[in-house]
A and B are shown apart, each in its own frame.
Chain A
Amino acid sequence: MNLQSFLLMRHELVLIAITLIVLIAELATSDSRKSIIAPLALCLFAVHTIIGFLPMEYGSLFGGMFNSTPINGMVKNILNIGVLIVLLQAQKMFDSEINRGKVSEYFIVLFSTLIGMFYMVSAGDFLMFYIGLEIATIPLAALAAFNRGENKSAEAGIKLLLSSALSSGVLLYGLSMLYAANGSLFFDALIHGNYEITHLHTLALIFFFAGMAFKLSLVPFHLWAADVYEGAPVNVTSYLSVISKGAAAFIFTVVLYTVFHNYADKWQPMMYIIAILTMIVGNLFALRQNNLKRFLAFSSIAQAGFLLLGIISGTAMGMATVVYYILVYVFSNLAAFGVISIIEMHTGKTTISDLNGMYRTNPKLSLALMLALFSLAGIPPVAGFFGKFFLFTAAASVGTTANYILVLIALLNTIISLYYYLMPVKAMFINKNDSPIAYFKSDVYAKIGLAISLTGMVVVGFASPIFENILAACFGIVGL
């Protein structure tokens, strides 16, 4: 191992450097010139996103604790794009008087959570996985409580932190069982070790599953999600529901497919029931929401249920569909959140009924939100349709009757979700309103962010090389 092998951690190292630069910039600028920090961080992150796409070598570091594989690199790039869009949408937030003093905190904390997610995504050992997970969640609670002057924000922060503390405790308890049963927590040792599956292994699997279900907000463990999403600042909500969920979903898939590969007949029935519950509960609760952020929170719970359909198949195809769906979800959900954050920052309106008649005053924003919701619902011209289609194909490809029933239930849920995704669209285009949201000009950064997510939504749906590349990268993972 020489210094050059550290280049395998290029994504992480560049991001750490950026975090330090932002920290130094905060110290070096006077109070009157703090306004340059937000654009500076944005530019640096854009450079980081581009660097992420340069070709890199693959291998592992620290005795297998850190793995760099093609699919890890792809997931990191997807997360980078998502964070770039979130940062573009966040720029407007720092114009206000209250936030001017804590601009650099936002970026430093956000980048450090992203570093945690990167380490979690490429973990090859449960210690690295756990550290990454905690680096990714603890600062997020601070971000959720970012609006110090708001009751809801403080409440969201403490809810997120305490529920994630409980969930990581449960997860760790499972890991200690796994350690007792195997004597090692390296993924490699767990995959290749010769052992019989005992009840201790099953117990470990159940606790691990429950802990991760908290992070993914799957149904029996989803109660924190809606409150946190509503209370947190809107940019943090979009970050939470897209980036952090995407990273957790990916590593969950990897661990189930590699470490717990031999237990597939144990986790598949668990996941089967949880997937059905998650889709149904997420959809039914989304029906009765009027607050836009709560509405998207429940929609993201339901989306996580659909995501499980890809995981349940246990094949390379299933993993590829999960990654592809994360990519689609990044673009479509961030587009929806982009419009909502623009509306909230300019007018302070947050409910669906506030959108009534918006098409006449703000046609472009209305169209953007409509496309985003179509994509989330899975209506053909945009990428969301292909994402859902591939997920269902992966689940059906197992070929058992039970899986066909699962796909049928998922289809029925898609129909329910159509209804509530179209409610804001109906509000904007059909409902009459004497005093709709007045016309306003949105800021340039938010426009760029929306443009990226909308083009992404269309391009990802039609460019088949994207899915083929992801699929090719998914082969070669142990157990597939």
Chain B
Amino acid sequence: MIQGIELQHILIITTLMFFVGVYGFLVRRNLITILMASELILNSVGINFVVFNKYLYPTAMQGYMFTIFIIAIAAAEAAVAIAIIINVYRRYKTINVENVSEMKY
């Protein structure tokens, strides 16, 4: 429990973060920004887990553990993504998704 802050307030923030992330993922045109948007989604979930654990199940640990793993895996994901983005940049000389589209329907 954190004095003066209700569970709902934090949940509003994380929900906003999640949907801002989804919006950014769909609207942004730069690969790095899209990656940042997906990190926003993962972080909102991480906060969710911590908050649920702290407010609803203070004696349990599972939410905290899950968050640690989410952070670690998000880091791994970012590493691979940036490696591929660098390769995309070498091939296309741009990281704008409008131009990185050789394959379409």
A323 lies within 8 A of chain B by Cβ: no
Instruction: Give the shortest distance, in Å, between B73 (CB) and chain A (any CB).
Output: 5
Alpha-carbon separation in the docked complex, A17 to B56 (Å): 42
Residues on A with beta carbons closer than 8 Å to the beta carbon of B25: 162, 166
Instruction: Give the shortest distance, in Å, between A415 (CB) and chain B (any CB).
Output: 24
Q: Is the CB of B38 within 8 A of A165?
A: yes
A142 lies within 8 A of chain B by Cβ: yes
Known A-B contacts A151-B102, A176-B48; the reply to A145 vs B84 at CB < 8 A is: yes
A131 lies within 8 A of chain B by Cβ: yes
Pick the residue among B53, B66, B84, B103 that contacts A152 (CB under 8 A): B103
Q: Is the CB of A152 within 8 A of B102?
A: yes
A230 lies within 8 A of chain B by Cβ: yes
Instruction: Give the shortest distance, in Å, between B60 (CB) and chain A (any CB).
Output: 6
A130 lies within 8 A of chain B by Cβ: yes
Residues on A with beta carbons closer than 8 Å to the beta carbon of B87: 145, 148, 154, 157
A476 lies within 8 A of chain B by Cβ: no
Pick the residue among B38, B63, B69, B101 that contacts A130 (CB under 8 A): B69
Q: Is the CB of B88 within 8 A of A155?
A: yes
A40 lies within 8 A of chain B by Cβ: no
Q: Is the CB of B34 within 8 A of A179?
A: no
Q: Is the CB of A155 within 8 A of B41?
A: no
A: interface residue count bin = 35 or more
Which label, helix, strand, loop or mixed, suits the secondary structure of the B interface? helix
B20 lies within 8 A of chain A by Cβ: no
A74 lies within 8 A of chain B by Cβ: no
How many B residues face the partner with a CB closer than 8 A?
43
The residue on A at minimum CB distance from B59 is: A183
Alpha-carbon separation in the docked complex, A172 to B76 (Å): 16
Pick the residue among A148, A169, A180, A183 that contacts B38 (CB under 8 A): A169
Q: Is the CB of A180 within 8 A of B52?
A: yes
The residue on B at minimum CB distance from A182 is: B57
Pick the residue among B21, B44, B62 that contacts A179 (CB under 8 A): B62
Residues on B with beta carbons closer than 8 Å to the beta carbon of A170: 22, 41
The residue on A at minimum CB distance from B60 is: A183
Residue from the set A134, A169, A184, A227 with the largest chain B CB neighbour count within 10 Å: A169
Q: Is the CB of B103 within 8 A of A230?
A: yes
Pick the residue among B31, B57, B91 that contacts A183 (CB under 8 A): B57
Instruction: Give the shortest distance, in Å, between A52 (CB) and chain B (any CB).
Output: 27
Please, what's the 1-or-0 string for B62-92, where 1 marks a CB less than 8 Å from any CB in chain A? 1101100110010011001101110110011
Pick the residue among B22, B63, B83 that contacts A142 (CB under 8 A): B83
A127 lies within 8 A of chain B by Cβ: yes
Pick the residue among B41, B76, B83 that contacts A169 (CB under 8 A): B41
Residues on B with beta carbons closer than 8 Å to the beta carbon of A267: none
Alpha-carbon separation in the docked complex, A96 to B13 (Å): 53
Residues on A with beta carbons closer than 8 Å to the beta carbon of B34: 162
Q: Is the CB of A176 within 8 A of B81?
A: no
Please, what's the 1-or-0 string for B37-58, where 1 marks a CB less than 8 Å from any CB in chain A? 0100110110011001100110
Q: Is the CB of A165 within 8 A of B69?
A: no
Q: Is the CB of B84 within 8 A of A141?
A: yes
| Between-chain CB contacts (< 8 Å), 10 pairs | A126-B66, A127-B66, A145-B84, A148-B87, A150-B91, A151-B92, A155-B88, A173-B18, A179-B53, A285-B105
Q: Using CB atoms and an 8 Å cutoff, list the residues of chain B in contact with chain A.
A: 18, 21-22, 25, 31, 34-35, 38, 41-42, 44-45, 48-49, 52-53, 56-57, 60, 62-63, 65-66, 69-70, 73, 76-77, 80-81, 83-85, 87-88, 91-92, 100-105
Interchain residue pairs A-B with the least CB separation, the first 5 = A169-B41, A176-B48, A165-B38, A172-B45, A180-B52
